[in-house]
Amino acid sequence: MPLKTQWEEQPSLNLTPMIDIVFLLIIFFMVGTKFTELERSMQLEVPQVSEAGALAPAPKKQVINIYRDGRIALNNDVLTLEELEARLTQARASYSELGVIVRGDGDGSFQNVATVLGACRKAGVSDMGIAVRIARKE
């Protein structure tokens, strides 16, 4: 029967990386605390406002639907081409970077989509997109 001549070492857990991370976190929080103390000690009077509110977020892109029969709808309001152009011009006056998404009926004439895109360009809208659907593979 063979005898063991070597003792097997028990596995050990190396704590060095964990200790390094804990020390780094301690240093990070100590430095962060110093910056907040420095900011509080500055002799600076920030300006005051009468009303505090969030800055106005950018409006969502306007959705223009073009139906098969040529009807144009902006946010579910049926409009003529001239009315659409006037509405977009008015909306652009309040937000210069207004965007639109044009959704044309797949069985409709592409000329209707091109006419609406031209009206958007006349109104000064530069952020335009066309909505499409990805065909399913069968």
Degrees (nearest 5) of the Cα angle 101, 115, 129?
Answer: 20
The model's pTM:
0.56
pLDDT at residue 2, rounded to an integer: 67
pLDDT at residue 82, rounded to an integer: 92
Residue 20 tokens read as: 């390094």
Q: Which amino acid is at 10?
A: Q
Rg (CA), the chain: 32
Question: Tell me: the pLDDT tens digits for 4-62?
Answer: 677 777 778 889 999 999 999 999 998 888 877 777 776 777 777 777 655 666 678 88
Residue 79 to residue 27: CA distance in whole angstroms: 64
Residue 73 to residue 63: CA distance in whole angstroms: 8
Residue 13 to residue 6: CA distance in whole angstroms: 21
User: Do residues 127 and 58 lie in contact, with contact meaning Cβ atoms separated by under 8 Å?
Assistant: no
Question: Tell me: the pLDDT tens digits for 110-124?
Answer: 888 889 999 999 988
